[in-house]
Amino acid sequence: MSSPMIVTIDGPAGVGKSTMAKKLADALGIAYLDTGAMFRSTAWRLGEGAWKWEAPRMVEELGWINFALSGSGSDTRLSLNGYMVGDEIRTEQVGMWASNVATMPPVRAFLKEAQIKLGAMYPLVAEGRDMGTVVFPNAERKFFLDASVDVRAKRRFDQLKEMGKPANLSELKAAIAKRDDQDRNRAVAPLRPADDAVIIDTSDLSKEHVFKALLDGIKG
């Protein structure tokens, strides 16, 4: 039996991966997998300071975590132990906790396995940092979205405001730059484009233009 189709979208924080993954999943009629949400909800569930745990304790705690996907397109829902993950994981603070646990080999191994299992069950638009390089190296199509840190901080700022959450632009910029640095320079599965990824710099592009570039890339 052939495995379900996988399209990957990787890139740094706030570049618009989730928005584009949802739109593309709608267009293709398949589910999207927000792997950042998997790291965020894992970090959130484990709690602050979990990145200081020794590997055996981390492995034991991860054993209690289970992910499931339901629905399709922009209505895809990710749940952790039956709980639908919501906006509580969308703060920059939880993003930093996620980036901290994401440096730990047991966490990466655990989530990689969970992502591969979901990808074996459903065709997916999978977005994250290492989808094209590590988790789905044989994906049908790979994209890497990039944008300057100023543009990304402004987008995250607008997103948080829209959700009614407190946001400070200069603090966000510093936090995103710090998280990027950690994500790009970690030893395991650092953020980088796959050799066969289509790279799209979205700094000066509208959402419509980015989406068109993705659709062209799928057709091409």
Start-to-end CA span in the chain (Å):
25
| Contacts (CB under 6 A) with ligand C5P, residues 126-145 | 128-131
DSSP code of 73?
A: B
Among 25, 62, 98, 160, binds ligand C5P (CB under 6 A): 98
Measured from the Cβ of residue 184, the count of other Cβ atoms closer than 10 Å reads 12
Q: How far is the CB of 33 from ligand C5P (least distance, A)?
A: 9
The stretch among 91-99, 142-150, 160-168, 198-206 that binds ligand C5P (CB under 6 A) is: 91-99
28 in Cβ contact with 7 (< 8 Å): yes
Rounded to whole angstroms, the Cα distance separating 117 from 47 reads 25
Rounded to whole angstroms, the Cα distance separating 143 from 10 reads 6
Among 99, 122, 143, 213, binds ligand C5P (CB under 6 A): 99
Binding-residue pattern over the window 45 to 74 for ligand C5P, x denoting contact by CB under 6 A: ------------------------------
| Contacts (CB under 6 A) with ligand C5P, residues 11-30 | 13
42 touches ligand C5P (CB under 6 A) = no
Task: Give phi and psi for 27, each to the nearest 5.
Answer: -65, -35
Q: How far is the CB of 1 from ligand C5P (least distance, A)?
A: 26
What is the four-CA torsion angle of 124, 130, 134, 139, rounded to 10 degrees?
Answer: 30
- Residues in contact with ligand C5P by CB under 6 A are 13, 35-36, 39-40, 95, 98-99, 102, 128-131, 179, 183
